[in-house]
Amino acid sequence: MVRETKLLLIMLMITLIIPNISFADRQLVYDDANLFSSSEMESLEAEVNNLSTEYNMDIVIVTTNDAQGKSSRDYADDFFDNGGFGVGGDYDGILFLIDMDNREAYISTSGIGIRYLTDIRIESILDMVFDNGLIAGDYYGAAGGFLKGTRKYLELGIQQGQYNEPEQVKKINKLTTMDIVISLVGGIAAGGIFYGITKARYRTPKRDNPYSYKTNSIVNLTTNNDRLINSFVTTRHIPKPSSSSGGSSAGRSSTHTSSGGRTHGGGGRKF
């Protein structure tokens, strides 16, 4: 009985400790572009692990010199999906990418991360990234700006009225055989009409005898004066747009589907 009790206690302790160990032992900072020093890497690893553990999601930082021909958005989404990141069935997490190939900073969100970071909040975090030295080459400061902004909005919680809005995918229209026939017939008809009108316009008109004395002997001279009677000036006040007009989009999180078929939010900015 005592032995069974000890086994149960050991199993309980392991259950409580394993989640924290999994976060602490997991690499969440990937400096493929060699932008951080070893001490900066250690500091960033500690911060992202603490933030990930605190909010039960994967917070990832990535840098790259080679986006493999992809856009920053596609590279960030694929790195998150293919790297096995994301907690739970909805793959909760946030990834920050410094893309030196496309010269863009990009934030990719997944799962509950999409709800925390709305479009407006992502723009605010990108402001912090740039204000903390991205353009000046202080990439550690830029990553710190990302972590500071992300922590701020995670602490504030999901915004009231937040909603996800999938991006509109443009349909690819294909020409049918009938479309081609109609286009050709219409083009030929339009060309024929234009040719006929142009030919008629340049046909030499019949002219009267320029030396007819009866027609040319009449001279009628008149005086034409313009006088300004009155003038009026009309003014109109144009009101400024109401600041509340864009309020409906304040809680919007724009989403799209990655190449792996998962739903992501996010946004980026060139530098």
Per-residue pLDDT reduced to its tens digit, 172-202? 556 667 767 777 777 787 777 877 777 777 6
Q: 54 versus 4: which is more confidently predicted?
A: 54
In the three-class reduction of DSSP (H, G, I as helix; E, B as strand; rest coil), residue 11 is classed as helix
What does the pLDDT read at residue 166? 96
H or E element, residue 110: strand 104-110
Ramachandran region, residue 35 (left: φ > 0; alpha: ψ -120 to 50; beta: rest):
alpha
Q: How confident is the model at residue 18 (pLDDT cuts 50, 70, 90)?
A: very low
Domain over 2-168+265-270 is classified CATH 3.10.310.50: yes
Bridge partners (DSSP) of residue 264 are 110, 256
* Pair 252, 93: CB distance under 8 Å: no
Q: How many other β-carbons are positioned within 10 Å of the β-carbon of residue 202?
A: 6
What does the pLDDT read at residue 210? 60
**In the predicted model, what is the mean pLDDT of residues 118-144?**
98
* Pair 76, 122: CB distance under 8 Å: no
Q: How confident is the model at residue 118 (pLDDT cuts 50, 70, 90)?
A: very high
What does the pLDDT read at residue 83? 97
Structure tokens at 24: 């602490």
Which residue matches tokens 């400790």?
17
Contact partners, residue 40, CB within 8 Å, separation at least 6: 140
* Pair 271, 104: CB distance under 8 Å: yes
d(CA 49, CA 55): 10
H or E element, residue 99: strand 93-99
Structure tokens at 66: 């080679």
Structure tokens at 72: 């920053």
Binning the chain into helix, strand and coil, the percentages to the nearest 5 are 45, 15, 40
C-alpha angle 261-267-31 in degrees, rounded to nearest 5:
85
pLDDT above 90: percentage of residues in the chain: 59
